[in-house]
Amino acid sequence: MEWTGARYADKPTVEVRTWIAAPPERVWTLVSDIELMPRTSSELQSVEWLDGRDAPALGARFVGRSSHASLGEWATTSHIVEYEPYRRLAWAVEDPHHPTAIWRFTLEPGNGGTLLRQWMQMGPGRSGLSFAIDSMPDKEQKIVFVRMREFEANMAATVEAIKKLAEDAQAPGEASL
């Protein structure tokens, strides 16, 4: 990720991608299993469906609990805002109309496999990072840049873990990272 000088209000984004030698149906099984995600992230500790749900659907909600050495521990509620099986899954963090972040997986079939993209947008709603920016406004661009690099590294690890699991063709319940 190159320096962009972005500020939080710019709603900065980052995207990682990988090609997976597995069909979209297999990749989707992993991407849509949100309970797998904490095993692929150094920050996300656990997730739990809300409202009696046990799988993604438009409007479904889940709680994610995270931990970061500099930011502490926190929990957020996410709302599924895009749901197109085998193609796209996105969730907005906290307020779906003014989210603190938006996360998205996109799957594209091709070349006998699947191109998997993970994308995220910071803001526009205030997040825990907003408090750091409030206390050091002169460092806002650096704070945003460092956080986006952290997201990029975690996302790269996530898509690589999904790639390995999909290509190993284990059943989702047997996935072990």
What the chain holds in terms of domains, given with CATH numbers, is 9-42+83-169 (3.30.530.20)
Total residue length of the chain: 177
pLDDT for residue 170: 46
pLDDT for residue 69: 85
- Share of residues in the chain with pLDDT > 90 (%): 72
pLDDT for residue 162: 95
Cα–Cα distance for residue pair 43/73, rounded to 1 Å: 9
Cα–Cα distance for residue pair 139/91, rounded to 1 Å: 29
pLDDT in tens, 115-164: 999 999 999 998 888 888 999 999 999 999 999 999 999 999 999 999 99
Residue 4 burial by CB count (10 A; 0-12/13-18/19+): exposed, middle or buried?
middle
Region 62-71: mean pLDDT is: 89
Q: What is the overall mean pLDDT for the chain?
A: 90
Please check the confidence at residue 176 and state whether its pLDDT lies above 90: no
pLDDT in tens, 83-103: 999 999 999 999 999 999 999
Cα–Cα distance for residue pair 45/128, rounded to 1 Å: 17
pLDDT for residue 174: 44
pLDDT for residue 153: 92
pTM: 0.89
pLDDT for residue 175: 47
